[in-house]
Amino acid sequence: MSKKPKADVCVIVPNFNNGRYLDEFIQSVIHSTVEPAMLLIVDDGSTDDSAEKLSKYSTLSYLKVISLETNKGLTTALNIAIEYAHAKYIMRADPDDILLPEKIYRQFVFMEQHPEVDILGCNLIYFRDHHHQINTSNFPTDHKSIVKAYQKGEHGVQHPTVFIRSEVYKRYRYQPVFPGEDYEIFARMVKDGRRFANLKDKLYLMRVHAGSSTSNLQLSGIKNTFAFRDKIFGARTGILRIKTYFIHISHYHKYQMSSNFFISGYYLFIAIVFHPSKLFKRMFSFLKK
């Protein structure tokens, strides 16, 4: 029997064909400094060895697996997870990523000490297989800056890092649109006056690989995001802004995927040219330290 303290949080994880990463992910939860009340994995009709991998952890007391017979899609799997989650807080995670040991504890303590905050993210480390670190995130920590990011059509929190009050999360559902579903639900929360924050510390490892959704981003996904922005915030986004941002983000993802120093440098240069404010924000953040 584990002697670790428990945190009243349900970790929800949608899984589709991420069997090769499940051991490392579940082990990262097991090695957290506190135990979650529940680790809820919705296996979305996987056709790989996910079921076999999950069966290895059948004795893990806080693990609950919901197996869907056919693939329903990410947003359906997330909505099912929210429906079945039972805890004071709901925490998102992806099965191809890794939680650092202090993540659950640090976010739980912050939320307990800041009852005014509804949604809490954190910063993170992007990495490739074999734990090769690529770079780190630089999400703002204060509510005002996070709101401003969403109003601009950008992200103020990284989706799989969020730690949300259950009574808040359960009032929302993901729309059947992918990609862009994460921007849409958080933009609605912003519009409704929900309070956001990010921990400046890097408590989450996000794996960058060929099968990840961010690595296969299409122009249509960026169009979805800005269409949501215009609808929710009453804005009007021109096609030039959409295409410019797509060039920026697609080249940034290519930079993360490339292991060649010169090629990755070229992709990063193009990404900066099409969105130089990102670089300025990083430089300003660095100088403030």
pLDDT digits (tens, 9 = 90+) for 131-158: 788 889 999 999 999 999 999 999 999 9
Q: What is the pLDDT of residue 278?
A: 62
Count of residues in the chain: 289
Do the Cβ atoms of 141 and 197 come closer than 8 Å? yes
The DSSP bridge partners found for residue 132 are 128
Tell whether 81 is covered by a domain: yes
249 domain residue, yes or no = no
**What is d(CA 268, CA 85) in angstroms, rounded to the nearest whole number?**
40
3-state secondary structure 207-256: ECCCCCHHHHCCHHHHHHHHHHHHHHHCCCCCHHHHHHHHHHHHHHHHHH
In a domain, 158, yes or no: yes
10 Å Cβ neighbour count for 150?
23
Render pLDDT for 257-267 as a digit per residue (tens, 0 to 9): 787 778 888 88
Separation between Cα atoms, residue 280 and residue 265, nearest integer Å: 17
Exposure string of 112-126, with b = 16+ CB inside 10 Å and e = fewer, is eeeeebbbbbbbbbb
Structural domain includes residue 216 = no
Which residues touch 42 (CB under 8 Å, ≥6 apart)? 12, 13, 14, 15, 65, 66, 68, 77, 78, 80, 81
Give the 3-state DSSP-derived string for 171-207, with helices as H, strands as E and coil as C. Answer: CCCCCCCCCCHHHHHHHHHHHCCCCEEEEEEEEEEEE
| Beta-bridge partners for 39 | 11, 63
* pLDDT score recorded for residue 175: 92
243 is written with which tokens? 């295409």
> Is the residue at 1 inside a domain?
no
Distance CA 44, CA 66 (A): 8
| pLDDT one-digit tens code per residue, 156-203 | 999 999 999 999 999 999 998 777 899 999 999 999 999 999 999 999
Give the model's confidence band at 284: pLDDT under 50 very low, under 70 low, under 90 confident, else very high: very low
| CATH number, domain containing residue 91 | 3.90.550.10
Number of domains in the chain: 1
Is 182 a member of any domain? yes
Q: Please tell me the distance from the alpha carbon of residue 244 to that of residue 246, in angstroms, as a whole number.
A: 5
Check residue 283 and give its pLDDT: 46
User: Could you tell me if residue 224 is inside a domain?
Assistant: no
Share of the chain above pLDDT 90, in %: 71
Amino acid identity for residue 203 in this structure: L
Does residue 146 lie in a domain region?
yes
Domain that holds residue 114: 6-210
User: Is the separation of the CB atoms in 174 and 79 below 8 Å?
Assistant: yes
CA distances from 162 to 119, 193, 218, 219 (A): 7, 17, 24, 26
